[in-house]
Amino acid sequence: MVRFILVCVIVSIQLYSSDIFERKCVPCHKELPTSLQQMFMKYLQLYSSEGNVKYILKYYLKKPSKKISAMSDLFLDVYGIKEPTKLSDEELDKAIDIYWDRYKVIGKLK
Looking at the domain assignment, is residue 37 inside a domain? Answer: yes
pLDDT of residue 13: 46
User: Is 108 within the bounds of a domain?
Assistant: no
SS3 97: helix
Residue-number span of the structural domain to which 26 is assigned: 19-103
81 touches 65 (CB < 8 A): yes
Domain for residue 6, yes or no?
no
In a domain, 71, yes or no: yes
Q: How many domains does the chain have?
A: 1
The pLDDT, as a whole number, for residue 108 is 59
Q: Which positions of the chain have pLDDT values less than 50? A: 6-15
8 lies in some domain: no
Alpha-carbon torsion (56, 57, 63, 69), positive or negative: positive
Q: What is the pLDDT of residue 106?
A: 72
* Inter-axis angle of helices 50-62 and 36-47, nearest 10: 120
**Rounded Cα gap, residues 15 and 17, in angstroms:** 6
